[in-house]
Amino acid sequence: MKRILSILAVTALLFCLILPANAAEDGLELLFEEDFEEYENGVNVNSTKLPELFVCEYNSIGDGIICVNEGKGGELRLLSHVFTQIYIETPVIGAYEFSLDVSEAHGNVQSGIFVRAPKTDAAYYEGDGYPDTSTCLSGLFITPHTNSIGVNVKTFNKDAASTSYLDNNLIKFDLPDGVKFPYNLRVTDDGERINLFCNDTKICTVAVSEPGRIYGEHQATDPCFGAAVVYDGAGNELASLHDTLLQSDGSVIGWSTRAANLEVDNIKIKTGRVYKTLLAVAKIPVKITEKNATDAADLAKTARGLYDSLSDAERALITNVERLTKAEAAVAELIPETTVTDPPATEPPQTDQTTDVVTAAPDAQTADTAEEAAGTEYTDDSLVVWILIAVMLAMAGAAAGFIVLKVRK
């Protein structure tokens, strides 16, 4: 019995020591967060951090505006008023988590949050042709209410009564007991299951499948999931849907209002390193001139570092990598070779032509060169990880010896 207790203690210790390292390696990284506390009441959205990641648009009809708004308790939130849309232009690929607090929502189903939306020519606040559902032509549309949350999976229907060629599949869920505005909504999405939580209580799951469906008549031209099944928080099936308008190649996430108000706060987005790389490449200007070459070089250097750290399978997901290689080539032509560092103090300055340190961005790497660079970096990181594991095992062994000694006594 004493030996069993000793083994269990050692196993538990090893689990506690090693698990955090693996969780950090496999988990999502914080990409963006904003709580609006550093701004003054009335500040326009374009003066916040949101435009760094989001497209922020509002229609001046009806005094449309997106601005920081002070609540009754002095807290600062973001108010979207009348006709507005805020969305990520570069669709998120890979697993992600999207979280925000909702403090106010007016207009029944005319204000809400969306994920897995395809790109469309129409604004995300445009009506869908149905008075009972109204807003957003595509995606998974989530409408917060005082006592419930609406989850609407838009599906394609070429024979629909509306010219928008879609059907609405709206399911309403009661809020968890005791929950009222403001409350937190959190979406986790791994590409197969989209989970919605309210204050950490699971509200529903939308399981998606059959990616790659394209509907010619609809404005959404991105491939979508052909099927989806909706489950409640307990796992009971509520609806089985076909021809969804949920994008399968990525996820445009955001929120919109149509003749309504929506107040949000504490926005957080977590993604994997693949999307972080994709986003870094997307920030590089398409047209590089002498005026922006220095900034483009910095952006390309950051993107190259992220890209080279990916595995071959992950690199295959970076669909805009050509933008990076073209930028590197353009920067190399525009920025002259100059000396920017002093020679080492222990060596006298050289006078031949080989002494200058070149600051121009390197030529675009070949696939073999990039792979070798990434491989070297990966080997170094692995060595560090194994050293850390060895240290943890040594600590575990020492602890195990101590536990055994105590048990024997």
List per-residue pLDDT tens for the chain, 409 residues long: 444 444 444 444 444 444 333 334 447 999 999 999 999 999 999 999 999 999 999 997 778 999 999 988 899 999 999 999 999 999 999 999 999 999 878 767 889 999 999 988 889 998 888 876 667 777 999 999 999 999 999 999 988 887 788 899 999 999 999 999 999 999 999 999 999 999 999 999 999 999 999 987 666 789 999 999 999 999 999 999 999 999 999 999 999 999 899 999 999 999 999 999 999 999 999 999 999 999 999 999 999 999 999 999 999 999 999 999 999 999 999 987 633 333 344 444 443 433 333 333 334 343 333 333 333 333 344 444 444 545 455 555 555 444 434 434 4
Token pair for 306: 């992220």
Token pair for 214: 């394209």
pLDDT of 129: 81
- Phi, psi angles (nearest 5°) of residue 49: -80, -10
**Residue 128 neighbours by CB under 8 Å, 6+ apart:** 134, 135, 136, 137, 154, 162, 164, 166, 168
pLDDT of 11: 42
**How far is CA 188 from each of CA 34, 103, 152, 284, 370, rounded to the nearest angstrom?**
18, 21, 16, 28, 33
CA 219, CA 224: separation in Å to the nearest integer?
Answer: 12
Which three-class secondary structure state does DSSP give residue 175? Answer: coil
- Hey, what long-range contacts does 210-218 have (CB within 8 A, 24 or more apart)? 211/248, 211/249, 212/248, 213/243, 213/244, 213/248, 215/156, 215/158, 215/165, 215/243, 215/245, 217/156, 217/158, 217/165, 218/137, 218/138, 218/156, 218/164, 218/165, 218/166, 218/245
Residues of the chain with CATH 2.60.120.560: 29-271
What type of residue is 145? H
In DSSP terms, which residues pair with 142 in a beta bridge? Answer: 113, 151
Do 246 and 208 form a contact (C-beta atoms < 8 A)? yes
CA 247, CA 156: separation in Å to the nearest integer?
Answer: 12
Tally of CB atoms within 10 A around 76: 17
CA 150, CA 144: separation in Å to the nearest integer?
Answer: 6
Sign of CA dihedral 290, 54, 135, 43: negative
b/e map of 200-231 (b: 16 or more CB within 10 Å)?
Answer: eebbbbbbbeebebebeebbbebbbbbbbbbb
Instruction: Provide the angle, in degrees to the nearest 10, between the axes of the packed helices 293-308 and 367-408.
Output: 50
Which three-class secondary structure state does DSSP give residue 275? Answer: helix
Angle made by CA atoms 351, 353, 357, in degrees to the nearest 5:
95
CA 130, CA 282: separation in Å to the nearest integer?
Answer: 36
Tell which residue, 251, 255, 233, 253, has the closest CA to residue 102. 255
**Residue 309 neighbours by CB under 8 Å, 6+ apart:** 273, 374, 377, 378
Four-way CATH pick for 29-271: 3.20.20.190, 2.60.120.560, 3.30.379.10, 3.40.50.720? 2.60.120.560
Angle made by CA atoms 265, 266, 269, in degrees to the nearest 5:
120
CA 205, CA 203: separation in Å to the nearest integer?
Answer: 7
For residue 109, the number of C-alpha atoms closer than 13 Å in the C-beta half-sphere is 23
Token pair for 250: 């990525």
pLDDT of 333: 93
CA 123, CA 24: separation in Å to the nearest integer?
Answer: 38
